Structure 1
Amino acid sequence: MTDTQRHPDIEIYIKDRSLDQIIKWLEQVCHTLHRDYEQGQVHHFIGMLDQQEVPVMVHEKVSGKAWTSVWFNSDQTPWMQDLDCAKQAASELDTQIRCIASGWNTGDDPDEWWKIEQGNTEKIQWRT
């Protein structure tokens, strides 16, 4: 996958933010946000992004207690790639955000991630 290819979906990992803080951010990002259903620490929403309905899943405590996954299950988002979304979220939520460095292609390093924090972006090895 080249650096300019649109990712088929967008997933970011948010550090140390509550579900309420993440939902408030999603409400700012989406024109509308409706809770679809919940199952334990997994929360499903339907968000309206650029006039497209997009399924959004928020999964709390995915890697220890610090990390929450937010997955936009669509290629119809305002972001070309996970990193674009991560940069926006890091700025607006004022916390560290991580996302996979590649698009999950065969042969890619699954431990290579982007770490975005306080305006800085760096590649790291993230092993859980």
Structure 2
Amino acid sequence: MRQPDIEIYLKDADHHAITGWLSQALGPCSEWRQKGQTYKCDVDSAAGVIPLTWLPKAVGKWHSLYLDSPHTPWPDDLACARAAFAALGVEVRCAPGSWQEDESDETADRWIRVSADGEEEIVWRTS
């Protein structure tokens, strides 16, 4: 089932490399607009406008990339994480499925790690 949005976390990712990858995967990005620590842009894809949010160092060295649209080439966070790792060669983490606000802390701490070592489920305490 296609997720309504996608969020992945990239370790030590270069902002320019992210923009290049997204432009190739989705279409050209508008200029990034900075608002506080957050950056936003829009991609005008064949499926419509996809709003993007980049939050550097959202969790330690981990940067958050949020795609606020169900109209991406990836059906879920894991597919996007795999594509990001393949394109950028940096470790990527994502939730194993759609996250719900009322989930237990134990469930919320379950993540998928995509790296040169392969894929594995890990416990990542982000708070």
Q: Between the two proteins, what is the percent identity of the paired residues?
A: 33
Q: Which residue of 2 aligns with 1:123?
A: 121
Contact map agreement 2:76 2:97 (CA 8 A) in 1? no
Checking the alignment, whether the CA contact within 8 Å between 1:50 and 1:77 is kept in structure 2 is: no
Matched, 1:22 2:18: yes
Partner AA of 1:71 in structure 2? Y
User: 1 or 2, which has the higher strand percentage?
Assistant: 1
Q: Which amino acid aligns with 1:118?
A: A
The RMSD of aligned alpha carbons is 1.6
Structure 2 partner of 1:91 = 86
Q: Which blocks of at least 5 consecutive residues in structure 1 are unaligned?
A: none
- Structure 2, unmatched stretches of 5+, are none
Which whole-Å deviations, capped at 9, do the CAs of 1:92-123 have from their partners, x for residues lacking one? 10010000112013436100001000261111
Structure 2 partner of 1:80: 75
Report the AA paired with residue 97 of structure 1: V
* 3-state secondary structure, aligned to 2:97: coil
Give the alignment partner of residue 43 of structure 1, picking from 35, 39, 42. 39
Q: 1:119 to 1:78 in 2, by over 3 A?
A: farther
| Aligned residue number for residue 67 of structure 1 | 62
Q: Partner amino acid for 2:55?
A: H
TM-score where L is the length of structure 1: 0.88
Q: Conserved in 2, the CA contact under 8 Å of 1:49 and 1:78?
A: no
Equivalenced residues, count: 123
TM-score of the pair, normalised by structure 2: 0.88
